[in-house]
Structure 1
């Protein structure tokens, strides 16, 4: 069990949670792309995998600045979200219906990440870690942009799924 003595300890613990979440997601995104039938959705998952690699590198710089190692923690929430994504991948469904389901799973992931990055950014601000704050806000904004892209794709794909 982890002992958290102060906000700095909580900050590091939450960063480790995000690092675990991102590394798990990086493995899952190619599988989601392979399961998607809509070319834009497929490309979006692959693009987000590339973006996730950059987000992990940003977290690496934050950990290096803190003199901490990113490992040693498993994000159980992301494990669950990925398990739901895997269930959708394995579900038999019309292509547009499966794509709509994949978007639902992806948006749950994005909302989890938006929440996580927003939280650690606020901790960084309170702790006076201005460079971390800027770095974390970049990633938070990327996650919000990804969610927006998924919303746009859902508009079209949900219509197709309705006609399936």
Structure 2
């Protein structure tokens, strides 16, 4: 893989996040099933619907810019999804697992925030005026999801895990 221009970098980064979002659509239902807290499970299901919309936005960007995505697999998301599987396999269902799932989900959100922020900056630099609002919409959704996860942790998720530890 040789990237020689900013346009090629944009296509590479868009291809990478497309792969990441596709991987996430497979992981989110598993995370929802593994969550003990109904609000967390609902959050994962809501994010699945948002992720599907984000994939549609990427498809629109591809169409608008008349570009072809590269067939690559996002290694970062692959690792984050694997961490989620390890959490599910190694922590018994309950508040502690939920706390770990929230932390893992925030890692995913922070990765996506970085990716979409980079794509938005590249889009501005390249003058992709029609693609930029789509990227910024997704960036704002990712930031909002991160805030929701923080609230879930602060409003009980982590406290329940701490109380469970003290009771043991």
TM range (shorter): over 0.9
User: How is 1:10-29 mapped onto 2 (pairs within 5 angstroms)?
Assistant: 10-29=9-28
**Superposed displacement of residue 71, structure 1:** 4.8
Residue pair 1:85, 1:102 contacting (<8 A) in 2 also = yes
What is the number of residues matched between the two proteins?
A: 163
Tell me what 1:151 maps to: 150
Distance 2:115 2:91 in 1: 32
Unaligned runs of at least 5 residues, structure 2 = none
Residue pair 1:20, 1:71 contacting (<8 A) in 2 also = no
**Superposed displacement of residue 94, structure 1:** 5.2
Distance 1:144 1:77 in 2: 19
User: How is 1:101-140 mapped onto 2 (pairs within 5 angstroms)?
Assistant: 101-140=100-139
Distance 2:31 2:124 in 1: 35
Tell me what 1:4 maps to: 3
Residue pair 1:60, 1:70 contacting (<8 A) in 2 also = no
Residue pair 1:125, 1:133 contacting (<8 A) in 2 also = yes
**Superposed displacement of residue 162, structure 1:** 0.3
Residue pair 2:34, 2:93 contacting (<8 A) in 1 also = no
Output the aligned Cα RMSD: 0.9
Unaligned runs of at least 5 residues, structure 1 = none
Q: Structure 1 residue 162 and structure 2 residue 162: aligned?
A: yes
State the TM-score, normalized to the length of structure 1.
0.97
The change in CA–CA distance for 1:4 and 1:71 in structure 2 (over 3 A counts) is closer
Q: Structure 1 residue 43 and structure 2 residue 42: aligned?
A: yes
